């Protein structure tokens, strides 16, 4: 057998490598210095989600996600004023007047919403937002504040400014003018906790001597108006002039007159969020008998006749009369009837009309009332739950104006700009696929928003954090690693 000697032909094979490898990706800070990064803003910067600010939410806050990545390229510690309590389960949130603006209860705390089993008025079981423990659930519909016995307000009220300055000055509820207000620490419980005497938010941030800053402010300047149903609520839109002045003042201070680099984000259109897009604005579950009953017994027929009469007397009223005419028919989508106080007052006629295409009902509209108590059909829905075309126009105008200012200022000062508006619009229209996960702006099922329908959830914040990182990278020639959005958990049902 000569076989052995021929084996020499196979010898070179022993030197062949079997393991493919990549060199590590080189990450670097580029022209920026992240050694002392400070974030300034509102609830979106604080880590607010599911109706509360909790320690867990703070740890998963947008700036903390970004800062954790910045550490890889030389970023320093990112100190946050972490709330007492392990998670938001005990209710670390404070009433932000998000859910019941007409009944402000500053001494009450809002617990974090959890995903819990629910049953609607028709007996259909599902999962939805609710309080844990279940005793604090407040059926029907959406949460209202619960007594602070569930959580020690004293602990929350304890001032922690001695631990400052902090790196995260995201203050839930803050508007742009609050950034430079010496009285903000008296009115905002979150800032009250962090503030030293009557220091402004911007002063506190500057005291941290930042080498880099993140600023996302202006959302609440229009959000409060929108979430409270527009003109019918107590929220207002910050005037463009005020916004411009305060925004520039804030940037001047944070950038040490344009010597410190930073990143800013613009304002998403509020209508991209599930708070406005979730509740149906009409019903197709109406039989002809139902429709006839509504027109006769609820006297919409008489209302229509009254409108026609008024239009006959005053031809200028004809267009509004047509718009206000109420009609229910089987076999079609019937828009709900709402009360619209902006309509012309006609003696003897209520301010009713049906919801127009492109208008919204807000997430706090009681679903069970729509399903089982004839809201929107026999009972017109109060205007505070309804965003009209006119109100949406005001919101759009304000956001366009704010965003123009933000773009101009960012560009003039050489700051990185995150187009959060485009990102949320993409979420609301086409959706986004990331590593095999589909995200949309759908409430709960969309995977990106928290259970309050306004704030992102942890994965949503991670998506935006990557947008911040991308903006930083492209503006400052840096290569900061992004995060894997799927590394962050999604909801589990609390049973």
Q: Is 197 in the site for another protein (CB under 8 A)?
A: no
Q: Which stretch binds another protein (CB under 8 A): 7-15, 216-224, 289-297, 411-419?
A: 7-15
Give 25 or 357: the residue with its C-beta nearer to another protein: 25
Q: How far is the CB of 39 from another protein (least distance, A)?
A: 21
Q: Is the omega angle on the peptide bond into residue 133 within 30 degrees of 0, that is, cis? A: yes
- Of 127, 160, 330, 373, the one binding another protein (CB under 8 A) is 127
* Distances from the Cα of 284 to the Cα of 288, 304, 334, angstroms: 11, 21, 6
Rule CB under 8 A: which of 386-445 touch another protein? 432-438, 444-445
* Contact between 481 and another protein per CB under 8 A: yes
149 versus 445: smaller Cβ distance to another protein: 445
Pick the closer one to another protein by CB: 128 or 224: 128
Residues 443-462 binding another protein (CB under 8 A) are 444-447
Is residue 111 within 8 A of residue 136, CB to CB? The reply is yes
Check if the beta carbon of residue 89 is closer than 8 Å to that of residue 131: no
Applying CB under 8 A, among 9, 123, 154, 313 the residue interacting with another protein is 9
SS3 of residue 83 by DSSP: coil
Strands 352-354, 360-361: pairing kind: unpaired
Instruction: Give me the phi and psi of 215, to 5 degrees please.
Output: -130, 120
Closer Cβ to another protein, 294 or 462, answer by number? 462
Q: CB-wise, 14 or 154, nearer to another protein?
A: 14
Total count of residues recorded for the chain: 495
Residue with tokens 């800053």: 213
Tell whether residue 345 is a contact of another protein (CB under 8 A): no
Interface with another protein, residue 11, by CB under 8 A: no
Output 251 or 448, the one with its CB closest to another protein. 448
Q: Which residue has the tokens 């490898």?
A: 21
Shortest spacing between CB 479 and another protein, in angstroms:
9
Task: Specify the long-range contacts of residues 196-203, CB closer than 8 Å, at least 24 apart.
Answer: 196/161, 196/164, 201/40, 201/169, 201/171, 201/174, 202/40, 202/249, 202/250, 202/253, 202/254, 203/253
Alpha-carbon gap, residue 84 to 443, rounded angstroms: 29
In whole angstroms, the minimum distance from the beta carbon of 194 to another protein comes to: 32
Binding to another protein, residues 93-122 (CB under 8 A): 115, 117
Which one of residues 3, 313, 345, 357 is an interface residue with another protein (CB under 8 A)?
Answer: 3
Instruction: Tell whether residue 124 is a contact of another protein (CB under 8 A).
Output: no
Shortest Cβ distance from residue 493 to another protein (Å)? 5
d(CA 217, CA 201): 12
**What Cα–Cα distance (Å) separates residue 294 from each residue in 330, 334, 407, 425?**
12, 12, 51, 38
In the bound state with another protein, the residue whose beta carbon lies nearer, of 116 and 346, is: 116
Cα 269 to Cα 274: distance, rounded to the nearest angstrom: 12
CB atoms within 10 A of CB 443: 20
- Contact region for another protein (CB under 8 A) — 23-31, 130-138, 271-279, 378-386? 23-31
Q: How far is the CB of 491 from another protein (least distance, A)?
A: 5
Min CB(427)–another protein separation in Å: 13
Rg of the chain over CA atoms, in angstroms? Answer: 27
> Nearest-CA neighbor of 37 among 345, 230, 260?
260
Part in contact with another protein (CB under 8 A); list of ranges 186-194, 235-243, 366-374, 487-495: 487-495
Min dist CB 395 to another protein, Å, is: 27
Among positions 139, 147, 302, 489, the unique one binding another protein when judged by CB under 8 A? 489
| Closest distance to another protein from the beta carbon of 480 (Å) | 10
H/E stretch holding 272 reads: none
Pairing of strands 261-265, 416-418: parallel
Using CB under 8 A as the binding criterion, the count of chain residues that bind another protein stands at: 41
Q: Which of 87, 136, 379, 491 binds another protein (CB under 8 A)?
A: 491
Contact 193, 157 (CB under 8 A): yes
Phi, psi of 60 (to 5 degrees): -95, 25
Binding to another protein (CB under 8 A) within 24-83 occurs at 24-25, 27
Footprint of another protein (CB under 8 A): 2-3, 6, 9-10, 13, 16-22, 24-25, 27, 115, 117, 127, 432-438, 444-447, 466, 481-484, 486, 489-493
């Amino acid at each position: 057998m000569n076989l052995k000697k021929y084996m020499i032909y196979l010898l070179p094979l022993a030197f062949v490598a079997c393991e493919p490898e990549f060199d590590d990706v080189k990450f670097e800070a580029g022209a920026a210095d992240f050694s002392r990064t400070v974030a300034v803003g509102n609830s979106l910067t604080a880590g607010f989600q599911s109706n509360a600010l909790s320690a867990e939410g703070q740890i998963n806050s947008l700036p903390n996600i970004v800062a954790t990545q910045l550490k890889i390229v030389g970023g320093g510690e990112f100190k946050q004023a972490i709330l007492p309590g392990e998670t938001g389960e005990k209710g670390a949130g404070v009433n932000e007047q998000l859910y019941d603006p007409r009944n402000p209860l500053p001494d009450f705390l809002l617990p974090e919403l959890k995903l819990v089993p629910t049953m609607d008025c028709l007996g259909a079981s599902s999962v939805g937002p609710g309080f844990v423990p279940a005793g604090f659930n407040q059926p029907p519909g959406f949460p209202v504040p619960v007594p602070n016995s569930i959580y020690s307000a004293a602990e929350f009220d304890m001032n922690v400014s001695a631990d400052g300055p902090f790196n995260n000055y995201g203050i839930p509820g803050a508007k742009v003018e609050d950034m430079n207000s010496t009285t903000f620490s008296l009115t905002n419980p979150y800032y009250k906790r962090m503030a030293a005497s009557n220091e402004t938010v911007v002063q506190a941030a500057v005291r941290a001597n930042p080498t880099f800053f993140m600023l996302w402010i202006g959302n609440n300047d229009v959000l409060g108006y929108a979430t409270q149903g527009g003109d019918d609520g107590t929220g207002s839109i910050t005037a463009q002039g005020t916004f411009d002045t305060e925004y520039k003042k804030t940037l001047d201070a944070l950038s040490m007159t344009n010597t410190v680099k930073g990143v800013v984000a613009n304002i998403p259109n509020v209508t991209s969020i599930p708070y406005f897009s979730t509740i149906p604005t009409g019903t197709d579950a109406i039989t002809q008998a139902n429709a006839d009953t509504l027109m006769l017994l609820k006297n919409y027929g008489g209302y229509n006749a009254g409108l026609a009469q008024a239009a006959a007397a005053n031809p200028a009223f004809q267009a509004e009369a047509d718009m206000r005419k109420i009609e229910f028919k089987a076999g079609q989508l019937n828009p709900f009837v709402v009360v619209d106080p902006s309509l012309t007052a006609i003696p003897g006629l209520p301010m009713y009309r049906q919801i127009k295409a492109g208008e919204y009902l807000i997430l706090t509209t009681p679903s069970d009332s729509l399903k089982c108590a004839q809201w929107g059909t026999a009972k017109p829905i109060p205007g505070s739950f309804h965003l009209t075309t006119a109100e949406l126009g005001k919101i759009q105008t304000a956001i366009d104006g704010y965003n123009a200012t933000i773009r101009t200022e960012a560009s003039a000062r050489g700051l990185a700009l995150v187009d959060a508006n485009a990102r949320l619009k993409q979420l609301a229209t086409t959706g986004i696929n990331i590593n095999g996960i589909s995200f949309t702006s759908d409430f709960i099922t969309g995977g990106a928003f928290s259970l309050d329908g306004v704030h992102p959830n942890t994965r949503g914040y991670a998506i935006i954090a990557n947008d911040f990182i991308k903006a930083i990278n492209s503006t400052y020639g840096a290569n900061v690693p992004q995060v894997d959005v799927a590394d962050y958990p999604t909801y589990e049902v609390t049973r």
